[in-house]
Amino acid sequence: MTTLLGIDIGSSSIICGILKGKTVIKESPRSFFRSKHSGNKVEVAPETVLKALAEAIKAIGEDSQKVDAIALATMCPAWCAMDKDGKALTPIVTHQDRRSVAEAHELEKKHGKAKHLRLVGCRPFPGGISSTTWAWFRKHEPERLKKADLVGHLSTYLHRHMTGARVTDPSCASFTGLYHTTKFAGWLPELYRAVGARKSQLPDVLEADAIAGRITASAARKFGLREGTPMMTGLIDGSAGMLLAGAKVGQLFNVCGSTDVLALCTDKPQPHPKLLTRALGVDGKFLMVGTLAAVASSLYWWREQAYPGIPVKEFPELLHKLARRGAKASGGVTFDPYMAGERTSIDQKSGGFSGITLATQREHILSAMIEGLITASAARIPLMMASKTEILPTVAVSGGGDRLDKLMRRDWPGKWKFRAVTDATMRGLGTLTPKEA
């Protein structure tokens, strides 16, 4: 059985693990890096990711030098421009960034809403696509891009440093907004020229399980790896989780935590303006994704404001108690669940409450938040059902110990069964078998 070094890079931390199939033999502690928040801009200094990666690999020890191959899963979008030597010319602009709203409107006007949706699989949502970020830098910081030799997401940046390869996979390519996602038809000139890009600046698109390159001598020294170790192209973290869930056509996979992501695996994409349609990364499949940007983060924000005396471990009991009581517990208060914006809107919404009076108590507010989030969660099911894909009745679920997933699916229409999957991203990487490109 192939032994892999799995690398899982999220929004703020990196975990590395030794995998034999879907079994994690050894796993590093989280190695953290910081995002810089400035207004609607969210950036990560590229060198801090490299440093955190080296720390996570070091925590694995000598076992990291004994693996057959390396598998990579990353957050996305995480956009970065590089010079001819692979040095970053820009920060890594993450999926939390919202600076490019004006550019998004301009791109959609240029291409047409229906056409962009049909080709790319989604509308040009800031934070959900990186073409708007490229257009922003072209307009506001053109000097940074003058020496740009390669532009891509985090996986492309890491490969350039670790193997020298200029690659991405279909899942990350989908998030550029420059790729013909729905047909796997490569980079589209009308899309990349609209942001001032040249095809020579774009990475080669390989399947996620392809051996995209091998660890160079300099990378071996820097990261404590074995020179020549094969490294697969990799894919986005959500795709890795779907692989662990089975990635069968019709499979629903729900990850409920700070955000709530519901993904449907399909081989017949039906782009919808309220969903993100993107490539899985392997096997010619797609994911149709509905995301609630702030679930646990909204609820625990209110705990900090209104329930500072309740220990974090006891708070879930209150959440589930109020959810069982339903809307009557809210005292007529309602909640717009957009505390971190909306992933399928160009102009960002914000959270808000209505129906508040002098009689409103803290539990009314909390109940309203629960009900608003539950309603938003249930609203995604009809969108998935309209996809013309026959949906399997068993939903794979991954979440935290507070089991917010149980709360969030209270009002889902239809009859469902649920099975838990744990350590989904890391173990999902273990399903990949390296293949020669």
- Do the domain assignments include residue 285? no
Q: How far is CA 28 from CA 18, 113, 211, 283, 426, in A?
A: 9, 44, 24, 30, 11
- Do the domain assignments include residue 412? no
- Do the domain assignments include residue 337? no
Task: Name the strands in the sheet holding 286-292, side by side, starting at the edge strand that comes first in the sequence.
Answer: 276-279, 286-292, 260-266, 252-256, 394-399, 417-420
Q: Which of 211, 229, 226 is nearest to 165 (CA)?
A: 211
Cα–Cα–Cα angle for 53, 54, 60, nearest 5°? 95
- Do the domain assignments include residue 118? yes
- Its domain, for residue 102, covers 3-239
- Do the domain assignments include residue 120? yes
pLDDT value for 402: 75
pLDDT value for 366: 99
- Do the domain assignments include residue 148? yes
281: left (phi over 0), alpha (psi -120 to 50) or beta: left
pLDDT value for 80: 99
Give the chain's domain count: 1
Measured distance CA(32)–CA(45) in Å, rounded: 12
- Do the domain assignments include residue 185? yes
Buried (b) or exposed (e) across 279-318, using 16+ Cβ within 10 A?
A: bbbbeebbbbbbbbbbbbebbbebbeeebeeeeeeebbeb
Q: For the chain, which residues score pLDDT lower than 50?
A: none
Q: Which of 251, 165, 179, 250 is nearest to 213 (CA)?
A: 165
CATH code: domain of residue 86:
3.30.420.40
Model's pTM, two decimal places? 0.95
- Do the domain assignments include residue 200? yes
